[in-house]
Amino acid sequence: MNRIRELREDNDILQKEMCSILNISQQQYSRYESGLSQMTYEQLGTLARFYNVSIDYILYMTDVPKPYPRSLLDKNIKQDIKKEVVA
């Protein structure tokens, strides 16, 4: 996951600071940056919110860093919940 390193370095943030935000060891964070280990969805979400980018951008699924609008996400989540309640 080189993009997490790019984001961190572009924002002048130390690994130690990111470890504090994610509540993990520096060794574990280093594994994420080197691609030896994968982040959880929760950690990806935390990074996306912190850097104000989409998870898709972090995962190289798009080159557009702009996050998705919260209202659209909230609307889709509400629709999914309604479907589950009705079912």
Q: What is the pTM of this model?
A: 0.73
User: CA dist 61 to 46, 54, 78, Å?
Assistant: 18, 10, 25
Distance CA 53, CA 65 (A): 5
The HSE-up count of residue 65 (CA atoms within 13 Å, CB side) is 11
**Tens-place pLDDT, residues 20-70:** 999 999 999 999 999 999 999 999 999 999 999 999 999 998 888 887 776
Type of residue numbered 8: R
